Amino acid sequence: MTLFDFIQRLLGREKPSGALAKERLQLVLAHDRSDLNPELLEQMRREILEVVQKYVEIDLEEGDVSLETGDRVTALVANLPIRRARPLVPQGNADATLAAAPDPEGTAAVGAGESLASGPAAPGLSTTEDRDPLEASPIP
Amino acid sequence: MTTASARIILICSGKGGVGKTTLTANLGIALARLGERTVVLDADFGLRNLDLLLGLENRIIYTAQEVLAGNCRLEQALVKHKQEPNLSLMPAGNPRMLEWLTPDDMRTVANLVAERADYVLIDCPAGVEQGFKNAAAACQEAIVITTPELSAVRDADRVIGLLNSQGVKPVQLVLNRVRPKMVANQEMLSVDDVTDILALPLLGLVVEDEQVIVSTNRGEPLTLNGNGSPAARAYVNVARRLRGEEVPLIDPSKQRRGLRARLLDKLRKSGTF
């Protein structure tokens, strides 16, 4: 490590490469181990979102369905912040009408890797362990 | 087929050049020095190197191939080590022929040598193709060796998956060529990172050691001449753990931490980054 690197890191600008290696490895192994091709995964993600949207209104910006791996087991993890349950009567404010079910196709373009990396934005995404597959965390 | 009394252990990695053959040679010598009758079986017949590391390259006349064909007796193909008579080498074949080696052939050979040994170590070829499948068919348990590099760990993971699906048990891990300084600076995957990801029990930890190259040049495995160097000590410890001895594992990256590493740790804890 050069002095420049050290200063960069001290300033918090650069992550040590060891941590980056672990992150990249975990992501690639999640896919290696599951043997799912990206196309199938994408299709599955789209269908899952469609089903979930039938019942609850979810935040598609924050939502994420991805593969995670730990202890040689790959889990499909869906983190879908719920705005509100569908059957509830709308409260009558302007927001409620605006937020009416966005097109599920809109999320289809989000790649598993990218949305995982943008984790800290969503509650509960910053920890990768000890999570139940298919958990859904509500927006506070 | 006879049930072998020996433990038949596959040494594999997936990726080439991570230290399979070096581990096989050193572990073979170390076990032999601990009084175990040991046979090292070079399953990598296309690119065989185990003879070279053991300094036995000029003494190979027959291979397992001739034994299987009935052209020689088993004793003729087993090459006894000069300084360590408890250790013998069995080359699976020579690089020119042997398209016909099958998983059954390997199983037969391994069981044959197992009848007169306590340990049979199979040096597996790199890759996950036929050579690996042949070698894996002959073993009961396995040691996966890897280095703390992305590609090596990824390939090791693939091999572990294949071994699991074949019911090979136990599968243990040796982490090779660890650079404690780089780990302390967090510029290399740590021991914990690798064991977390691969989820295997750690059988041994070998630090990067220039003496390994010197010993290869001489054709004398490090474990042959006492255990002066760090790698030699690590190999002997692997042998002892394999026999069931309790030998504590010392993570070299956690031993002598420099001021800078400790300072960085403190900063991280305080939430600076």
State pLDDT tens for residues B33-75.
999 999 999 998 888 899 999 999 999 999 998 999 899 999 9
pLDDT recorded at residue B167: 94
Q: How far is CA B143 from the centre of its chain?
A: 6
Tell me whether A7 touches chain B (CB under 8 Å): no
Q: Which residue has the higher pLDDT, A3 or A56?
A: A56
Higher pLDDT, B273 or A12: A12
Residues of B whose CB is below 8 A from A71: 199
Comparing alpha-carbon positions, the chain B residue that sits nearest to A1 is B185
Q: Which CATH architecture has domain B7-269?
A: 3-Layer(aba) Sandwich (3.40)
- Residue ranges per structural domain of chain B: 7-269
Distances (CA, A) of B221 to A96, B28, B38, B196, B231: 74, 9, 15, 31, 11
Distance from CA of A8 to the nearest CA of B (A): 11
At B259, which helix (H) or strand (E)?
helix B259-269
- Where helices occur in B9-53 by DSSP H, the ranges are 20-33, 50-53
Provide mean pLDDT across the span A79-94.
67
**How far apart are alpha carbons B132 and B123 in whole angstroms?**
10
pLDDT band at B258 (very low <50, low <70, confident <90, very high): low
For B147-177, what is each residue's pLDDT tens digit? 999 999 999 999 999 999 999 999 999 999 9
Range among A26-35, A76-85, B173-182, B244-253 with highest mean pLDDT value: B173-182
pLDDT digits (tens, 9 = 90+) for A121-138: 333 333 333 444 444 444
Amino acid found at A38: P
Per the domain annotation, does A23 fall within a domain? no
Which range among A74-83, B92-101, B164-173, B248-257 has the greatest average pLDDT?
B164-173
Place of tokens 């192994």: A29
Ranges A13-27, A51-65, B69-83, most confident: B69-83
Q: Which of A4, A7, A13, A29 to probe the B interface (max B CBs under 10 A)?
A: A29
Helix axes A3-10, B259-269, angle to 10 degrees: 20
Strand partners, B175: B146, B205
Encoded tokens for B130:
């036929």
> Does B183 have pLDDT greater than 80?
yes
Q: Is residue A10 part of a domain?
A: no
Is residue B241 a contact partner of residue B203, using CB atoms and an 8 Å limit? yes
The pLDDT value recorded for residue A98 is 41
A32 and B260 within 8 Å at the Cβ level: the answer is: no
Range with the poorest average pLDDT among A53-57, A122-126, B125-129? A122-126
**pTM of the full structure:** 0.75
Q: Give the structural domain span for A85.
A: 38-140
Query: A100: pLDDT confidence band, cut at 50, 70 and 90?
Result: very low
Note whether residue A28 is domain-resident.
no
Set of chain B residues whose Cβ sits within 8 Å of the Cβ of A17: 186-188
B177: left (phi over 0), alpha (psi -120 to 50) or beta: left
Number of domains chain A contains: 1
- The mean per-residue pLDDT over the stretch A53-63 comes to 82
| Residue A12 counted as domain residue | no
Task: For residue B120, give the 3-state DSSP assignment.
Answer: strand
Q: How high is the mean pLDDT of chain B?
A: 90
Q: How far apart are the first and last CA of chain A?
A: 42
Edge-to-edge, what's the strand order for the sheet holding B38-42? B79-80, B87-91, B38-42, B119-123, B7-12, B141-146, B171-178, B202-207
* pLDDT > 70 in chain B, percent: 90
Cis omega (within 30 of 0) on the bond before B170? yes
